[in-house]
Amino acid sequence: MDIWGKLKAIFEDAPKEIVFKDEWVAFLNANLPLYGRLPAELQERLHLRIGEFVTTTFFEGCNDLELTDEMILTVAAQACLLVINHEGAPYPQLNTVLLYPTAFTATSESLGPGGTIIKREVKCEGESWDNGTVILAWNSVQQGATNIFDGHNVTFHEFAHQIDSLDGDTDGVPVLHSEAAFQTWAAVLGEHAEKFMDRVRRGRKTILDPYGATNPAEYFAVATETFFEKPKQLKKKQPGLYEELEKFYQLDPASWF
């Protein structure tokens, strides 16, 4: 049985409360400093979510990457932190996580002159597909997890795209549970995104990574990275955006820093 199969079996066979081993806690403490900052009840809840995630998501190592418990748990913990307080399965549409040792080659398509499609090979640290696949480079996952203050976390980024795509469109608007929530989201994020894109165009400094100016989906993914890694700055400088993300994720990361 491969390493994912073994881990899955452990989570399936044992009562969830006792299954989370000390060595797994040690992996999370070592790889994900954010984990150590979580209140105890969130850590407990995260363990349960990780169990649900690992039993429903197939992990595969690519380009000869030999998967380990540590890799699977480090990815799962970060993915699950985003949806720790959401109802239902962590990622109902997700089937597979493919892990590469380092940045992998992907084909990007863009529209050229006269509507022609230009294909080019690009190096990627992560990708999220609407068919329920997330692809990640392990060294980038590690870097993103270890540095919790730089606002860059490829795992948060790609799983934010998965959350965004739950309603069928990866468009920067995730599933919101009322018309009023949608109206507020559209107004607040629309206004912040517009100001942000203007600053990026003028070459001004921004809290969010300028990559978020690519389109609304990237804006949401980058805002998510910032929300979890620079929460205090975001709350201070853009309280409206912080509050929307706080309501959506049902988390207050600023209180962990």
List contacts with Zn ion (CB under 5 A). 218, 221
* Least spacing, CB of residue 116 vs Zn ion, in Å: 24
Which lies closer to Zn ion via its Cβ, residue 73 or residue 128? Answer: 128
Which lies closer to Zn ion via its Cβ, residue 106 or residue 186? Answer: 106
Q: What is the H or E stretch that residue 134 is in?
A: strand 133-137
Q: Note whether 211 and 164 are within 8 A (CB).
A: no
Q: Following DSSP, what letter does each residue of 64-78 receive, concatenated?
A: T----HHHHHHHHHH
Of 126, 124, 189, the closest CA to residue 159 belongs to 126
Scanning the structure block, which residue is given the tokens 């517009």?
Answer: 194
Hey, which residues does 127 pair with through a beta bridge? 135
Which lies closer to Zn ion via its Cβ, residue 33 or residue 216? Answer: 216
* Least spacing, CB of residue 48 vs Zn ion, in Å: 28
Closest CB to Zn ion: residue number: 221
Which lies closer to Zn ion via its Cβ, residue 81 or residue 217? Answer: 217
* Residue 46 CA from chain centroid, whole number: 14
* Least spacing, CB of residue 221 vs Zn ion, in Å: 5
Which lies closer to Zn ion via its Cβ, residue 14 or residue 106? Answer: 106
Q: Which residues contact 27 (CB under 8 A, 6 or more apart)?
A: 69, 70, 73, 74
* Least spacing, CB of residue 30 vs Zn ion, in Å: 27
User: What's the CA gap between 52 and 80, in Å, rounded?
Assistant: 9
Q: Note whether 76 and 53 are within 8 A (CB).
A: yes
* Least spacing, CB of residue 158 vs Zn ion, in Å: 7
